[in-house]
């Protein structure tokens, strides 16, 4: 069997400016094994990515807070949605944060579509100061994870590793069956749950430490390099 993949989006399937690499999209579409998109983004983004890659929906969203498997029309209503974490507690931290600092906000403007569909956590722009956010989150027993694109306030019980095991179970697989590819500290738990893991060259120190291998190339080029490595090992 071609190895199942667990793949991050931002910084892994994209370039530095966050644009999705069309070669990465094509590679996902063509991968012969199962693919789980595992991201810090809210659910609509990875669901759309599965659709546009022409793949069945198999998604970990919100850094593990949401798992969605087989919810496509083709699955005949047999899909499953697992929602963990505590959006209300994360929102309380966000409210503390914006109340405490004069003029401080989450950094997304009045419309804030970054958080609009978020069910288990709240994301704060990396342009905002993180230390007060960490302190306020700790007061309410929550974590802050830095995905390299945003700070995410989330339950410490939720991570991509636990969610990957949940997704694997629903797909009739084990976490260790997967090859995980990512670029930031929120991917480290998925690397531990997977049997094989790659950090792309732009990854942060935590992700690089947790991964079995670090690619020579960065961003989507590193993703493609990892895929070629996995195929070469078969
Ligand atoms: Mg990433």
Section 64-68 average pLDDT: 97
The predicted structure's pLDDT at residue 176: 98
Residue 177: active-site member = no
pLDDT of residue 79: 85
pLDDT in tens, 174-200: 999 999 999 999 999 999 999 999 999
Q: What is the model's pLDDT at position 1?
A: 81
Q: Look at residue 203 and tell me whether its pLDDT is greater than 60.
A: yes
Range in 46-50, 97-101, 158-162, 215-219 with the lowest mean pLDDT: 97-101
Looking at domain 5-84+158-233, its CATH superfamily turns out to be HAD superfamily/HAD-like (3.40.50.1000)
Average pLDDT over residues 69-83: 76
Spatial distance between the Cα atoms of 168 and 126, rounded to a whole number of angstroms: 31
What CATH number does the domain located at 87-154 have? 3.90.1070
Mean pLDDT across the chain: 94
* pLDDT of 73 strictly over 80: no
Question: What pLDDT does residue 102 have?
Answer: 64
pLDDT tens for each residue of 105-147: 899 999 999 999 999 999 999 999 999 999 999 999 999 999 8
Sheet of 150-154: strand order equals 122-125, 150-154, 143-146
Cα 222 from Cα 62, distance rounded (Å) = 23
Q: How far is the CA of 26 from the centre of ligand 1 (A)?
A: 19
Answer for the pair 74, 56: CB distance below 8 angstroms, yes or no.
yes
Phi, psi for residue 3 in degrees, rounded to 5: -60, 135
Cα 152 to middle of ligand 1, angstroms: 12
Q: How far is the CA of 182 from the centre of ligand 1 (A)?
A: 6
**Distance from Cα 210 to the centre of ligand 1, integer Å:** 14
Which pLDDT does position 39 carry in this prediction? 97
The residue extents of the domains of the chain are 5-84+158-233, 87-154
The pLDDT, as a whole number, for residue 74 is 57
Question: pLDDT band at residue 61, thresholds of 50, 70 and 90?
Answer: very high
pLDDT digits (tens, 9 = 90+) for 80-110: 999 998 999 999 999 999 997 767 889 999 9
Ligand 1 mean position, distance from CA 28 (Å): 16
Residue with tokens 């802050």: 144
* Percent of the chain scoring above 90 in pLDDT: 88
> Is 68 exposed, middle or buried, given 0-12, 13-18 or 19+ CB atoms closer than 10 A?
buried
Rounded to the nearest whole angstrom, what is the distance from the C-alpha of residue 102 to the centroid of ligand 1? 31
* Statement: the pTM of the whole predicted model exceeds 0.85: yes
Q: What SS3 class is residue 95?
A: helix
**Among the options 8, 86, 143, 187, which is catalytic?**
8
pLDDT at 168 over 80: yes
| pLDDT for the residue numbered 32 | 95
Q: Region 160-164: what's the mean pLDDT?
A: 98
pLDDT at residue 72, rounded to an integer: 67
């Amino acid at each position: 069997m071609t190895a199942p993949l667990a793949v991050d989006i931002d910084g892994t399937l994209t370039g530095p400016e966050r644009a999705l690499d069309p070669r990465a999209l094509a590679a996902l579409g063509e991968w012969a094994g199962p693919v789980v998109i595992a991201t810090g983004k809210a659910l609509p983004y990875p669901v759309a990515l599965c659709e546009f890659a022409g793949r069945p929906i198999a998604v970990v969203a919100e850094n593990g807070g949401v798992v969605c498997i087989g919810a496509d029309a083709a699955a005949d209503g047999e899909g499953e949605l697992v929602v963990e974490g505590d959006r209300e507690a994360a929102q309380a931290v966000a409210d503390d944060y914006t109340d405490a600092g004069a003029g401080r906000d989450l950094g997304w403007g009045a419309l804030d579509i970054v958080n609009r569909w978020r069910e288990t956590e709240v994301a704060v722009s990396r342009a905002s100061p993180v230390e007060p956010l960490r302190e306020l989150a700790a007061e309410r027993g929550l974590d802050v994870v830095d995905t390299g694109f945003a700070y995410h306030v989330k339950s410490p019980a939720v991570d991509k590793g636990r969610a990957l095991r949940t997704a694997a179970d629903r797909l009739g697989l084990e976490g260790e069956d997967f090859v995980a590819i990512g670029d930031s500290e929120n991917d480290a738990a998925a690397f531990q749950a997977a049997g094989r893991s790659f950090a792309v060259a732009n990854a942060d120190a935590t992700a690089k430490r947790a991964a079995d291998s670090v690619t020579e190339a960065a961003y989507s080029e590193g993703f493609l390099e990892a895929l070629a490595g996995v195929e070469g090992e078969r």
